[in-house]
Amino acid sequence: MGHVIVTGFVSLDGIVTDPDGSGGTPAGGWAFRHGPETHGGDKFRLGELMDTGVLLLGKDTWQLFSKLWPNRTDDFSTKMNKMAKVVASHTLTDLSAFPNSTLMNGSLSEYVRSEPRTIAVTGSLSVIRALQADDLVDEYRLMTLPSIVGSGEQMFGPSDKPVHLRLESIQPAGAASLATYVR
Protein backbone atom coordinates (compact mmCIF):
# COMPACT_ATOMS: atom_id res chain seq x y z
CA MET A 1 0.00 0.00 0.00
CA GLY A 2 1.29 3.45 -0.89
CA HIS A 3 1.41 6.46 1.40
CA VAL A 4 -1.91 8.42 1.50
CA ILE A 5 -1.65 12.22 1.69
CA VAL A 6 -4.75 14.39 2.14
CA THR A 7 -4.35 18.01 1.05
CA GLY A 8 -6.81 20.81 1.52
CA PHE A 9 -7.67 24.40 2.27
CA VAL A 10 -9.07 24.90 5.78
CA SER A 11 -10.54 28.08 7.24
CA LEU A 12 -9.53 29.25 10.70
CA ASP A 13 -12.77 27.76 12.05
CA GLY A 14 -12.09 24.39 10.38
CA ILE A 15 -14.36 24.68 7.32
CA VAL A 16 -13.36 23.10 4.00
CA THR A 17 -16.55 23.79 2.01
CA ASP A 18 -16.25 25.76 -1.25
CA PRO A 19 -12.79 27.35 -0.85
CA ASP A 20 -12.72 28.53 -4.48
CA GLY A 21 -16.35 29.67 -4.78
CA SER A 22 -17.26 27.13 -7.48
CA GLY A 23 -19.94 25.63 -5.21
CA GLY A 24 -21.87 28.87 -5.11
CA THR A 25 -22.22 28.89 -1.32
CA PRO A 26 -22.76 32.28 0.42
CA ALA A 27 -19.23 32.28 1.91
CA GLY A 28 -17.61 30.52 -1.09
CA GLY A 29 -14.25 31.68 -2.39
CA TRP A 30 -12.83 32.34 1.07
CA ALA A 31 -9.47 30.68 0.26
CA PHE A 32 -8.84 32.82 -2.79
CA ARG A 33 -9.39 36.15 -1.03
CA HIS A 34 -5.85 36.09 0.36
CA GLY A 35 -3.73 36.38 -2.79
CA PRO A 36 -1.98 33.98 -5.17
CA GLU A 37 0.72 33.03 -2.62
CA THR A 38 -1.90 30.93 -0.83
CA HIS A 39 -3.27 29.04 -3.81
CA GLY A 40 -0.95 29.33 -6.82
CA GLY A 41 1.38 26.64 -8.14
CA ASP A 42 2.48 23.68 -6.02
CA LYS A 43 0.95 25.05 -2.83
CA PHE A 44 0.84 21.66 -1.09
CA ARG A 45 4.50 20.88 -1.89
CA LEU A 46 3.77 17.73 -3.89
CA GLY A 47 6.94 18.13 -5.97
CA GLU A 48 8.12 14.88 -7.55
CA LEU A 49 5.02 13.10 -6.28
CA MET A 50 3.28 14.67 -9.28
CA ASP A 51 5.53 12.54 -11.51
CA THR A 52 5.51 9.32 -9.47
CA GLY A 53 2.25 9.30 -7.52
CA VAL A 54 -1.45 9.30 -8.26
CA LEU A 55 -4.15 11.88 -7.57
CA LEU A 56 -7.33 10.30 -6.16
CA LEU A 57 -10.44 12.38 -6.77
CA GLY A 58 -14.16 12.08 -6.21
CA LYS A 59 -16.57 12.76 -9.06
CA ASP A 60 -17.36 16.40 -8.22
CA THR A 61 -13.73 17.43 -7.73
CA TRP A 62 -12.71 15.58 -10.90
CA GLN A 63 -15.43 17.40 -12.86
CA LEU A 64 -14.29 20.77 -11.47
CA PHE A 65 -10.62 20.04 -12.19
CA SER A 66 -11.40 18.72 -15.71
CA LYS A 67 -12.74 22.18 -16.60
CA LEU A 68 -9.88 24.04 -14.92
CA TRP A 69 -6.52 22.36 -15.53
CA PRO A 70 -6.52 21.09 -19.16
CA ASN A 71 -6.81 24.66 -20.49
CA ARG A 72 -3.71 25.90 -18.67
CA THR A 73 -0.11 25.62 -19.86
CA ASP A 74 2.05 26.93 -16.98
CA ASP A 75 4.58 24.49 -15.46
CA PHE A 76 2.36 23.41 -12.55
CA SER A 77 -0.68 22.89 -14.81
CA THR A 78 1.43 20.82 -17.22
CA LYS A 79 2.48 18.58 -14.31
CA MET A 80 -1.14 18.37 -13.08
CA ASN A 81 -2.31 17.32 -16.54
CA LYS A 82 0.43 14.67 -16.83
CA MET A 83 -0.14 13.30 -13.32
CA ALA A 84 -1.95 9.95 -13.05
CA LYS A 85 -5.48 10.46 -11.77
CA VAL A 86 -7.92 7.88 -10.41
CA VAL A 87 -11.59 8.82 -10.04
CA ALA A 88 -13.81 7.27 -7.38
CA SER A 89 -17.15 7.34 -9.19
CA HIS A 90 -19.88 4.88 -10.09
CA THR A 91 -21.58 7.25 -12.56
CA LEU A 92 -18.83 8.81 -14.69
CA THR A 93 -17.92 6.95 -17.85
CA ASP A 94 -16.11 9.47 -20.07
CA LEU A 95 -12.87 10.72 -18.53
CA SER A 96 -11.37 12.14 -21.72
CA ALA A 97 -11.74 15.78 -20.55
CA PHE A 98 -8.84 15.47 -18.08
CA PRO A 99 -5.70 13.70 -19.36
CA ASN A 100 -4.38 10.57 -17.62
CA SER A 101 -7.61 9.87 -15.72
CA THR A 102 -8.94 6.38 -15.07
CA LEU A 103 -11.88 5.04 -13.09
CA MET A 104 -11.18 3.28 -9.81
CA ASN A 105 -11.92 -0.44 -9.79
CA GLY A 106 -13.44 -2.06 -6.72
CA SER A 107 -14.03 -0.37 -3.39
CA LEU A 108 -12.11 2.65 -2.20
CA SER A 109 -10.35 0.74 0.59
CA GLU A 110 -9.43 -2.12 -1.78
CA TYR A 111 -8.01 0.36 -4.28
CA VAL A 112 -5.96 2.24 -1.67
CA ARG A 113 -4.64 -0.96 -0.11
CA SER A 114 -3.55 -2.29 -3.51
CA GLU A 115 -2.06 0.93 -4.95
CA PRO A 116 1.74 0.87 -4.59
CA ARG A 117 2.23 4.54 -5.54
CA THR A 118 1.82 7.47 -3.15
CA ILE A 119 -1.78 8.70 -3.29
CA ALA A 120 -2.66 12.39 -2.97
CA VAL A 121 -6.29 13.30 -2.28
CA THR A 122 -7.52 16.86 -2.68
CA GLY A 123 -11.04 18.22 -2.35
CA SER A 124 -13.28 15.16 -2.51
CA LEU A 125 -14.53 15.29 1.08
CA SER A 126 -16.59 12.10 0.67
CA VAL A 127 -13.42 10.24 -0.39
CA ILE A 128 -11.47 11.75 2.51
CA ARG A 129 -14.17 10.80 5.02
CA ALA A 130 -14.24 7.20 3.71
CA LEU A 131 -10.44 6.98 4.00
CA GLN A 132 -10.60 8.42 7.52
CA ALA A 133 -13.27 5.89 8.52
CA ASP A 134 -11.03 3.05 7.30
CA ASP A 135 -7.97 4.59 9.03
CA LEU A 136 -6.09 4.89 5.72
CA VAL A 137 -4.75 8.48 5.88
CA ASP A 138 -1.03 8.71 6.62
CA GLU A 139 -0.51 12.44 6.25
CA TYR A 140 -2.41 15.74 6.09
CA ARG A 141 -1.10 18.85 4.34
CA LEU A 142 -3.48 21.59 5.37
CA MET A 143 -3.38 25.18 4.15
CA THR A 144 -5.04 27.19 6.93
CA LEU A 145 -6.33 30.58 5.87
CA PRO A 146 -7.25 33.51 8.12
CA SER A 147 -10.96 33.43 7.28
CA ILE A 148 -13.79 32.52 9.61
CA VAL A 149 -16.43 31.06 7.33
CA GLY A 150 -19.08 30.28 9.94
CA SER A 151 -20.75 27.23 8.42
CA GLY A 152 -20.02 24.31 6.14
CA GLU A 153 -18.34 20.92 6.21
CA GLN A 154 -15.24 20.35 8.30
CA MET A 155 -12.18 18.26 7.36
CA PHE A 156 -12.69 16.12 10.45
CA GLY A 157 -16.16 14.88 11.28
CA PRO A 158 -17.33 12.91 14.30
CA SER A 159 -15.12 9.94 15.03
CA ASP A 160 -15.41 6.85 17.20
CA LYS A 161 -11.78 7.10 18.24
CA PRO A 162 -9.16 9.80 18.57
CA VAL A 163 -6.26 10.01 16.12
CA HIS A 164 -2.97 11.54 17.24
CA LEU A 165 -0.68 13.02 14.61
CA ARG A 166 2.75 14.64 14.72
CA LEU A 167 3.44 18.10 13.30
CA GLU A 168 6.18 17.53 10.73
CA SER A 169 6.45 21.08 9.39
CA ILE A 170 4.74 24.43 9.19
CA GLN A 171 5.51 27.03 6.55
CA PRO A 172 4.10 30.48 5.84
CA ALA A 173 2.35 30.78 2.47
CA GLY A 174 1.33 34.38 1.98
CA ALA A 175 -1.45 35.07 4.48
CA ALA A 176 -1.84 31.33 5.16
CA SER A 177 0.20 28.58 6.79
CA LEU A 178 0.86 25.13 5.35
CA ALA A 179 1.07 22.55 8.13
CA THR A 180 2.04 18.94 7.51
CA TYR A 181 0.84 16.36 10.03
CA VAL A 182 1.92 12.70 9.87
CA ARG A 183 1.15 9.52 11.79
Close Cβ partners of 30 (under 8 Å, ≥ 6 residues apart): 11, 15, 18, 19, 145, 147, 149
Please report the pLDDT score of residue 133 as a whole number. 92
Check if the beta carbon of residue 155 is closer than 8 Å to that of residue 19. no
In the chain, domain spans: 4-182
- For 104-135, how does the pLDDT look when each residue is reduced to its tens digit (9 = 90+)? 988 999 999 999 999 999 988 999 999 999 99
Close Cβ partners of 68 (under 8 Å, ≥ 6 residues apart): none
Q: Say how far apart CA 173 and CA 100 lie, in whole Å.
A: 29
- Range in 46-50, 95-99, 136-140 with the lowest mean pLDDT: 46-50
The Cα-based distances of 105 to 88, 115, 163 in angstroms read 8, 11, 29
% of the chain residues with pLDDT over 70: 96
Residue 25 binned pLDDT confidence (cut-offs 50, 70, 90): confident
**pTM score, whole prediction:** 0.92
Residue 169 binned pLDDT confidence (cut-offs 50, 70, 90): very high
Check if the beta carbon of residue 167 is closer than 8 Å to that of residue 137. no
pLDDT score of 139 more than 90: yes
Please report the pLDDT score of residue 89 as a whole number. 92
- Range in 25-29, 105-109, 128-132, 175-179 with the lowest mean pLDDT: 25-29
Please report the pLDDT score of residue 38 as a whole number. 60
Q: Say how far apart CA 181 and CA 159 lie, in whole Å.
A: 18
Coil/strand/helix, residue 63: helix
Q: In a 10 Å sphere around its CB, with 0-12 CB exposed, 13-18 middle and 19+ buried, how is residue 153 labelled? A: middle
pLDDT score of 42 more than 70: no
4-182 maps to which CATH number? 3.40.430.10
